[in-house]
A and B are shown apart, each in its own frame.
Chain A
Amino acid sequence: MKREFCRSEYQVRPRKPTECPLLWSLALTATLSIFLLLPSAIGSEVNWYARAEYPNGDRYGVAGYNYVYNNYVISGYGISEALAVYFYDYDWFAIGWNKDQAGGSAHFYADWCFNNLPPPYLCMDYHYVDLGIATYGTSHSYKVSTSSITSKTYKAFLDSVAKAQATFGYSYSKPAAASEAHDPRDSLTGHYWNLMHQIYIPQTGLQWYYWDAISTYADPPYYVTVISNREFYTGGQG
């Protein structure tokens, strides 16, 4: 009788576990793994933040400085530090630097999302631009802003040079600055200062002012240390 792996030409009845133990153990492993891992993968937090925001969402840009630290990174997606604006429909536009590999170089980048949805969809229309190597131990200025209160087009600037632009559904937005990790063993040492927001004043038009208020958020094990309304540090782990 020709006999294949766990299969007989004449075997048509359902097989018992004892007749094909390897397949049954693999099937058991796969089934249990799906039930055990799926909820954690879909429902739990995927990013860890240490961030600050300007409390009002009727602004037209964010600007400030950030230092490029050689943070310890363990995971493939690494860490990032950026300034950003985000919109009431959950779209966002950010510019900063990231480090993806342990011992690797940091890169400036801009990214934005046009359609932010819950897991498993996440961002349905995501854009990312690599802006070159960011040297450790240097400071840089960033700005994300629109040029008028009727324009929905925002530009992202690195050291005063426009690097990316995108058009959103709203002209107003909320300023933010954030350090982000994708593994809690990564280091998130960060320093943000001279944070500004662009505000519309009917008599004079759009004007830049330092943040006069700040709200912070941190996912443990990370933390935010506020120096003033316009300056804060992030840190933790690593």
Chain B
Amino acid sequence: MRRAKTLPYLTLGTAGILLMLAMLPTGVWQTYAAASPMSTTQRPYMFSRLADPFPGQETPLSTARAALPFDIQMPQVLPPNLSLTHVRLVKEVKLVYLIFTTSKLAEPFSAEDVLSSGGIIMMQSWDAADPTEFISSRVEQSNGLWKDVNINGGLGVASFGKIHWWKNNVHYEILALQGIEQLTAIANSVGR
């Protein structure tokens, strides 16, 4: 008798699950996922290339050092278990990516693979231009998302997931799923 009463509810639950499974290929859930972090009046992101194969040429660190007009600096503070696993050189713009992960990634990998697994992407590029306009505009227009920072005497800005700073004509940038405090700690250890 009790089992007979339970049956309609279990049937209802199963039907709900099947309905949601049937909606999976429609893209409804994917669209919702993309839109959820942003206001409903804004469209989801468009030109994201995070899932694309990582740019640049895989290069030994010594080769990258020889190819660039500045000395590549290493961070001394990193989250546990991370080490330098990949060096990607973009010679035409004098830029190098230093990729820190728990283990070497199989090719092709993407920035999303690095960041989603807790890894860190550090960019260092030659940049003699004055960063003041960039820093002030970012802080003024961000509604508090970005904070100006001073990294070992170099000016920069930081937000969750990203920090920029400039020192001695080199633009440093770190991408990682870390807060401003953690990013600043890593940045302050660079080159020490």
Contacts and interface: CB of A to CB of B under 8 A. Distances in A.
B49 to A, nearest CB: 6
Contact of B92 (A56, A98, A151, A184): A56
A75 B27 contact: yes
Interface residues of B, number: 69
Contact of A167 (B13, B48, B49, B133): B133
Contacts, number: 205
Nearest to A114: B138
Q: Which of A18, A24, A115, A169 has the most CB of B within 10 A?
A: A169
Contact of A182 (B16, B34, B131, B142): B34
Q: Which of A42, A116, A117 has the most CB of B within 10 A?
A: A117
User: Which bracket fits the contact residues of A?
Assistant: 35 or more
A118 B44 contact: no
B78 interface: no
A90 B49 contact: yes
Interface string A144-187: 00000011110000000000000111111000101010111100
Interface in B13-56: 13, 16-17, 20-21, 24, 26-38, 41-51, 55
Given A82-B46, A123-B48, A40 B29 contact: yes
Contacts of B131: 152
Give 5 closest A-B pairs by Cβ, nearest first.
A92-B47, A25-B13, A46-B34, A41-B33, A150-B129
Given A45-B51, A47-B34, A113-B47, 6 more contacts: A21-B10, A32-B17, A45-B30, A57-B92, A75-B31, A171-B129
